[in-house]
Structure 1
Amino acid sequence: MDFSAPAKEMKASSTQSDLIDQFLTWKQENENCSARTVRKYRGLLNQLGKFLDGNFANAELKILEQFSGGWLHRAGYSAASRKVAVAAIRGFYSFLAKRRMVSKNPAQDLVYPRMGRRLPRFMGLKSAEALLFQPDLSSLSGVRDSAMLALLIGCGFRVAGLCGLNESQLIWYQYGEVERLAIRTLEKGERERLVPVPLEAMLLVQAYLGHQDLRNVDRLLENGDQVLFVNLRNRHVPEWEHRGELRRLSTRAVDRMIKRYAIDAGVPEDQAHAHAIRHLFGTELAESDSSTLQIQALMGHADPKTSEIYTHISMRKMTNVLDKGNPLSKMDTPVTALLNEFKKGKLV
């Protein structure tokens, strides 16, 4: 392969690690790429570097296809994980080509693996209701947990966005004659969205903020703001240093809290996580005839196609349409008499 001068320069002066660092720093500073995505991209690009014997400039489309296809597949990567790898490779080589670190972009035509779209597993309303009644409202931790669960259920927040909240992100405003609450949250690559809060969740947040025991918790940050949802103990720091940012509740702690309450409430294990609650939020919006754009805005989706999936699982709406229009409802069948008795409420 014939390299241009910039490409030869790159080979001589920049190590594999340097190039990956430059790209990922640019992703963070210019595209607000999340720390989680940066970690994934770094791991995949490091593997690509090993596959290429450390020489990114020697890559050709065929070689990149072998890596993102067969090699990663044999290494146990799913189609979804290989899709992330293709995104990382395409972004990386686009970055290098625009800065003339390679003579051309070999990943420009690298295709994403084909994969079907799975319908999300969502928590049912009864399960969410049972979950919400689990916290002990006589304690600060119980009121905190109840407020967090209400925000997850009523606003569709991601756990990271919820845990990252500070008190300044609570926006109080007048709606008619009533004071209402909205929350400005940062999620997935620091994307900001402002979400109105249901009255039920607002009352629980107010109960948490007004709790007498919260006044004894030092949650003041260096910028003068305050951590919103706090942990009440931290075994990794001395008691006198347990303040400010170290008071912030972690995403793992919230995941454990949801699982614990779900087990106690008898919620199915495949629903015992925050994303099942988020899917409930999206599904109920679709059931209530919210448009795709409204769902996208409330859930903070970057792509409206992600929001469209909830229209496929709005079962109550589809059941209503089916019951009114299906051909069996317009003819006699072997079970018509039984069904008529059922509708009259004569069958238990």
Structure 2
Amino acid sequence: MNYKENDFIKAFTQYLEAERGYSSHTVENYRRVVEQFALFLQGRKKNLLEVTPEEISSFLVHLKVQNGLSRVSQQNRLSALRTFYRFLKKRELVPFNPAQEVGGIKTEKKLPAFLTLSEIDKLLSFLKKKYLENKCFLNARNWAVFELFYASGLRVSELADLKRENVDLHNRLVRVHGKGKRERIVPFNESARQALQEYQVFRGLFEDKEGYFFVNRRGGKLSTRGIRKIFERVLKEAGILEKKVSPHTLRHTFATHFLAGGGELRVVQEMLGHASLSTTQIYTHIDWERMRRVYDLTHPHSGRRGN
């Protein structure tokens, strides 16, 4: 990779952060993909400005053969290259976007994992009991983290970036800055408010360095990595080992349980911060038997109304 290519990649990452508002995690992933592609081209005595759609296809096949890359991972890398070449084309560094001419990689939709009602009840009851038995900062914070995740469906990065000024305990609302710097207001339930109020007492003991709501034991921002470590530890302690659970699992659990309780898909879309309703529609896998019963009872031609 030559000096000029490094400049292109650096400018690209700055563009993703400053203009597109991508998370640091996504920016880092996109940077790695472009660097990997540049090295692949080097072996073919080409550079990033001399690319055909066929070379991008060959790169994806190479990753599949050499690294056993799944179709989802291939699609993610194709998306990164499409974004990169869109950036170069806007700056008139390439005549067209070669990645745009590569057909999408068909993927099988995988239903998101989620916890059952009994599992989430077990988890939250465990955290509350642990706090009541030992009212300390860590127990209060961990209980509040899990309650807010389940009550609001926030992304892990959104919870980590949450500022104190954006948490309204009185009205049970949080102001969230999501993907693409889109802002939204998300409500939470009374159980979450109780946990957040208890945590707020301990949060007030720390110097307010940067204003983040959730902090570590030193008063610094609680990172996404820190949150994931908390998940691993708490789930083990709570005895929920049957499923692989992450912060994102609670996001899925929130959406699934909300819809199962009769919530509207559009409301879930707003709360999750999805730009498109089609993204939210994956959650319609929930409780098909319940949906069938509702249909039979309400549709005028079902033959069961009034029975």
Specify which of 170, 181, 204 is matched with residue 172 of structure 2.
181
Q: Which residue of 2 aligns with 1:155?
A: 152
Assess if the C-alpha contact under 8 Å between 1:143 and 1:207 holds in 2. Answer: yes
**Cα distance between partner residues in 2 of 1:281 and 1:86:** 30
Q: Could you list the per-position Cα deviations for residues 310-335 of structure 1 after superposition, in whole angstroms to 9, with x for gaps in the alignment?
A: 111234624745998xxxxxxxxxxx
- The percentage of counterpart residues that share the same residue type is 29
Distance change >3 Å, CA 160–CA 269, structure 1 → 2: farther
Classify the secondary structure of the residue corresponding to 1:107: helix
The SS at the match of 1:20 is helix
Deviates further, 58-67 or 315-324: 315-324
Q: 1:14 to 1:256 in 2, by over 3 A?
A: closer
1:192 equivalent to 2:183? Answer yes
- Aligned-residue Cα RMSD (Å) equals 2.4
Post-superposition, which runs of at least 4 consecutive aligned residues in structure 1 deviate over 6 A? none
Cα distance change of structure 1 residues 78 and 157 upon mapping to structure 2, 3 Å threshold: same
1:56 partner amino acid: L
Structure 1 stretches lacking a partner, 5+ long: 1-12, 173-178, 233-241, 325-348
Question: Match for 2:33 among 44, 47, 50?
Answer: 44
Q: Which structure 2 residue ranges, 5 or more long, are not aligned?
A: 298-307
Pair 1:78 & 2:67 matched: no
Are positions 1:171 and 2:163 aligned together?
no
Residue 265 (1) aligns with residue 218 (2): no
What pairs up with 1:62-73 in 2 under 5 angstroms?
A: 62-68=54-60, 70-73=61-64
Letter in 1 for 2:142: D
**1: CA distance between counterparts of 2:260 and 2:227?**
28
Q: Deviations over 1:275-298 (max 9, x none)?
A: 221111010122133332211101
Q: 1:217 to 1:73 in 2, by over 3 A?
A: same
Deviation string 1:110-163 (CA, Å, 9 cap, x unpaired) is: 222110100011011111111112232222221221111110111111222112
Under a length normalisation based on structure 2, what TM-score does the superposition of the two structures give? 0.85
- Secondary structure (helix, strand or coil) at the match of 2:174 reads strand
Instruction: Tell me which amino acid in the other structure corresponds to 2:153.
Output: G
In structure 2, relative to structure 1, the CA distance for the partners of 1:323 and 1:121 (3 Å cut) is farther
CA contact (8 A) 1:119 1:313 kept: no
The aligned counterpart of 2:269 is 296
Separation in 2, partners of 1:158, 1:311: 20
Deviations 1:210-253 (A, max 9, x none): 34xx44322332xxxx2212211xxxxxxxxx45xxx2222223
Alignment of 1:1-40 (within 5 A): 15-40=4-29
Partner of 1:280: 253
Identify the match of residue 80 of structure 2 among 88, 91, 106.
88
> Structure 1 residues 315, 262: CA separation in 2 closer, same or farther (over 3 Å shift)?
farther
Tell me, yes or no, if the aligned pair for 1:134 and 1:261 is still in contact at 8 Å: no
What secondary structure is seen at the aligned counterpart in 2 of 1:157?
coil
Between stretches 114-123 and 85-94, larger displacement belongs to: 85-94
Provide TM-score, normalisation by structure 1.
0.76
Aligned length in residues: 289
Question: Are 2:89 and 1:97 aligned?
Answer: yes
Amino acid at match of 1:248: K
